[in-house]
Amino acid sequence: MTHIPVSVIVAAGGSADDFHACLLSLRASLGLRDEVVCVLPSDRADLRAELRGEQWLKVIESPAGAGAAERWAAGVDATRHPIIILVDGDVVLSAHWLDPVLEPFGDPSVVATGPRCHNSFGPQQAELPKEAMASAAAFKAFARQWRQDHRGEFSDVDRLGPVCVAIRRDALAIAGGPTADLPWDGLAVQGRVTVAHAALVAHVASTDCGLRGEFTDEPGAPLISAALIVKDEADVLARSLDALRDLVDEIVVYDTGSTDDTVAIARAHGARVVEGYWNEHFGDARNRCLEHCRGTWALWVDADEIFTGDAKAVRAAVAAGGDARAFFVTIDNQEGHEGGSGHSTIYFPRLFRRSPSRLYGRLHEQVVDRVTGTAMVGPQLTTAVLTHVGYTALRRTVKSKAERNLRLAELAAEDVSGITAIGNLARAQIGSGHIEEAIETSRRGLEQAKENSHRVLFLKILADAYLALKRLTEANETIEELRRIASTAFTVDEHEVKLRFAEGDYERALEIVAALPESGMNDLLYGVGKGRFAGLHIDALSRLDRNQEAAEQLRRSLREGRVPVPVARMAQVLGAADGSLAEVAELLPREGVRGLLFGIAEAPPEAADELLEALWRRYPGEPTVLTVAARVGRLVPLIRAMEWSARLRQHGFAERCTLLALSGNSRRTPRERTLAAAIALEMFHDEAALPLLNEALAAVPDDQSAPVLEEMRVLAPKVSDSIELADA
What pLDDT score was predicted for residue 339? 34
Per-residue model confidence (pLDDT) at position 710: 92
- Closest among 65, 305, 331, 103 to 196, alpha carbons compared: 103
Between the CA of residue 469 and those of 86, 242, 248, 494, 510, what are the distances in Å? 51, 42, 45, 17, 22
| φ, ψ for residue 233, nearest 5 deg | -115, 25
What tens digit of pLDDT does each residue of 120-179 get? 877 888 888 889 888 888 999 999 999 999 999 999 988 898 899 999 999 999 999 998
Q: Please say whether the beta carbons of 321 and 354 come within 8 A.
A: no
Write down the mean pLDDT value for the chain.
Answer: 89
DSSP string, 284-328: HHHHHHHTT---SEEEE--TTEEE-S-HHHHHHHHHT-TT--EEE
Between 318-327, 405-414, 578-587, 645-654, the lowest mean confidence (pLDDT) is in 405-414
Q: What is the pLDDT of residue 623?
A: 86
pLDDT band at 674 (very low <50, low <70, confident <90, very high): very high
pLDDT attached to residue 724:
60
Cβ-contact 339, 598 below 8 angstroms: yes
Residue 727 confidence (pLDDT) above 60: no
DSSP string, 514-579: HHS-SSEE-TTSEEE-GGGGHHHHHHHHHHTT-HHHHHHHHHHHHHTT---S-HHHHHHHHHHTT-
Find out whether 109 and 153 touch, Cβ atoms under 8 Å: no
What confidence score (pLDDT) does residue 404 get?
81
**7-212 shares its CATH topology with 224-399:** yes
Q: Give me the mean pLDDT over the 691-711 stretch.
A: 93
CB 622 within 8 A of CB 616: yes
pLDDT at 337: 33
Confidence (pLDDT) at 288:
94
Alpha-carbon distance 470 to 468, whole Å? 6
670-681: average pLDDT: 96
3-state secondary structure (DSSP) of residue 37: strand
Over residues 475-493, the mean pLDDT reads 94
Query: pTM score > 0.75 for this model?
Result: no
All structural domains of the chain with their residue ranges: 7-212, 224-399, 550-617, 621-728
Euclidean distance between the first and the last CA atom of the chain, given in angstroms as a whole number = 100
pLDDT of residue 391: 47
**CATH topology assigned to domain 224-399:** Spore Coat Polysaccharide Biosynthesis Protein SpsA; Chain A (3.90.550)
The CATH code that applies to domain 7-212 is: 3.90.550.10
- DSSP class of residue 90? T
Mean pLDDT to the nearest integer, 692-702: 94
What is the pLDDT at residue 343? Answer: 64
pLDDT of amino acid 340: 36
Question: What angle do the packed helices 547-559 and 534-543 form, to 10 degrees?
Answer: 160
Lowest-pLDDT range of 65-69, 506-510, 574-578: 65-69
Confidence of residue 397 (pLDDT cuts 50, 70, 90): very low
Helices (DSSP H) in 182-319: which residue ranges? Answer: 184-188, 237-243, 262-268, 282-290, 311-319
- pLDDT at site 338: 33
Task: Mention every residue, 6+ apart, whose C-beta is less than 8 A from residue 617.
Answer: 585
